[in-house]
């Protein structure tokens, strides 16, 4: 393989200017659609732009422009490939597209070090705003940047040690509704499968499970709680274990989409005759077609994205107002 010589560098405004026989500033005017250029000149410049393949350089433009807006938003989610994160990303895209924003997206995988590294990266790139599904316990490391005017919105999880806007859902309430549904169907031994206890959302859902049981006069049995579950297989194994207990649960609450799928796999492949009833947090594609029917606590992901975009844009427009915490309701979808 012969390594060819590198292609010539891109044409700059200066080159377009000299080729068109006008000044740099005139090219800038044409390229930016500013007034004050005769039609003949404009045409000529446009022709040279085309001929030389000139492309506007946003980086240089942003640098010089006052205000220093990059029209880029950093979005750090748990895992881009996960349905929840992907839909959130999409709704943020839709909500910001018209104003010309571009999304810098990355996955954190619940890794605190990775969060700090990527936040630094985003700030170095001077994003106009940051949407964060935090993987860290505390986010005081961001305080100076927030004070310096960086618009930050937390999604899915509340901030700790940091006073910024956030959009969450009613995790405890949603979970209570799900567990109450099971209680109403006569279950008393209801297991709970959860994500890492370090995640506030996971803790809130566990609390909801406990609250519902206590309110119903049932005893939350610690032996029926399995947390720290990250994957479909981990959930499947955990439920399998629970079903082998001497006094196994008759129902399970799965606190996340991935865990619900794991439970259903366990029920299908590993469960003894009277399969436990499953209720999950977050709806999953095709779940409504599956037998036995699985009730879920559904959240409006698109609404979360819209609210986050809205808060972000308000922050970008005006700085200094108190942090707002938006909590969106959940909906029990009984099947």
Partner DNA sequence: TTGAAAGCGTTACCAG
Partner DNA sequence: CTGGTAACGCTTTCAA
Q: Applying CB under 8 A, which residues contact a second copy?
A: 1-10, 53, 55-60, 62-63, 68, 70, 72, 79-83, 85-87, 89-90, 93, 102-107, 120-121, 123-126, 144-145, 147-149, 261, 264-265, 268, 284-287, 289-291, 318-321
E-strand stretches of the chain: 72-77, 102-107, 129-132, 152-155, 165-169, 190-193, 225-226, 251-254, 277-281, 295-299, 325-328, 330-333
Q: How far is the CB of 224 from a second copy (least distance, A)?
A: 24
Choose which of 22, 73, 155, 242 interacts with DNA (CB under 7 A): 22
Residue 36 binds which entry of DNA, a second copy, none, with Cβ cut-offs from 5 to 8 Å by kind? DNA
Q: By the 8 A CB rule, do 122 and 152 touch?
A: no
Q: Which is nearer to DNA, 23 or 219 (CB)?
A: 23
Burial of 137 (0-12, 13-18, 19+ CB in 10 A): exposed
CA 177-181-186 angle, to 5 degrees, is 145
Which one of DNA, a second copy, none interacts with residue 6, CB within 5 to 8 A by kind?
a second copy
Q: Which is nearer to DNA, 23 or 231 (CB)?
A: 23
How far apart are alpha carbons 94 and 97 in whole angstroms? 5
> Which partner from the list a second copy, DNA, none does 23 bind, CB cut-off 5 to 8 Å by kind?
DNA
Question: Cα 192 to chain center, whole Å?
Answer: 24
What phi and psi values does residue 87 have, to the nearest 5 degrees? Answer: -70, -35
- Residue 184's binding partner among DNA, a second copy, none (Cβ under 5 to 8 angstroms by kind) is none
Write out the residues near DNA by the rule CB under 7 A.
9-10, 12-14, 22-26, 28-29, 31-32, 35-38, 41, 54-57, 60-61, 63-66, 68
């Amino acid at each position: 393989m012969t390594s060819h010589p590198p292609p010539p560098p891109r044409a700059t405004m200066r080159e377009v200017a000299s080729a068109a026989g006008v000044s740099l500033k005139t090219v800038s005017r044409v390229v930016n659609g500013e007034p004050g250029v005769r039609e003949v000149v404009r045409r000529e410049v446009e022709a040279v732009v085309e001929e030389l393949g000139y492309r506007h350089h946003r980086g240089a433009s942003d640098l010089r422009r006052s205000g220093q807006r990059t029209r880029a938003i950093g979005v750090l989610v748990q895992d881009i490939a996960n349905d929840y994160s992907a839909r959130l990303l999409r709704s943020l895209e839709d909500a910001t597209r018209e104003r010309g924003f571009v999304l810098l997206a990355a996955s954190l995988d619940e890794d605190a070090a990775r969060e700090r590294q990527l936040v630094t990266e985003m700030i170095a790139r001077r994003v106009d705003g940051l949407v964060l599904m935090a993987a860290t316990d505390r986010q005081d490391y961001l305080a100076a940047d927030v004070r310096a005017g960086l618009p930050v919105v937390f999604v899915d999880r509340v901030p700790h040690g940091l006073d910024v806007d956030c959009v969450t859902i009613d995790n405890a309430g949603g979970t209570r509704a799900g567990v109450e549904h099971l209680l109403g169907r006569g279950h008393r031994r209801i297991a709970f499968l959860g994500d890492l206890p370090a995640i506030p959302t996971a803790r809130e859902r566990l609390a909801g499970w406990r609250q519902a049981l206590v309110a119903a006069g049932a005893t939350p049995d610690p032996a029926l709680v399995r947390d720290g579950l990250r994957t479909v297989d981990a959930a499947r194994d955990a439920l399998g274990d629970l079903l082998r207990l001497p006094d196994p649960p008759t129902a399970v609450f799965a606190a996340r989409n991935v865990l619900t799928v794991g439970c259903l796999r366990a029920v299908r492949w590993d469960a003894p005759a009277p399969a436990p009833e499953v209720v999950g947090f977050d709806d999953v594609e095709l779940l409504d077609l599956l037998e036995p029917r699985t009730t879920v606590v559904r959240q409006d992901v698109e609404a979360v994205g819209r609210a986050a975009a809205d808060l972000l844009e308000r922050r970008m427009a005006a700085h200094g107002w108190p942090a707002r915490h938006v909590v969106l309701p959940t909906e029990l979808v009984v099947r």
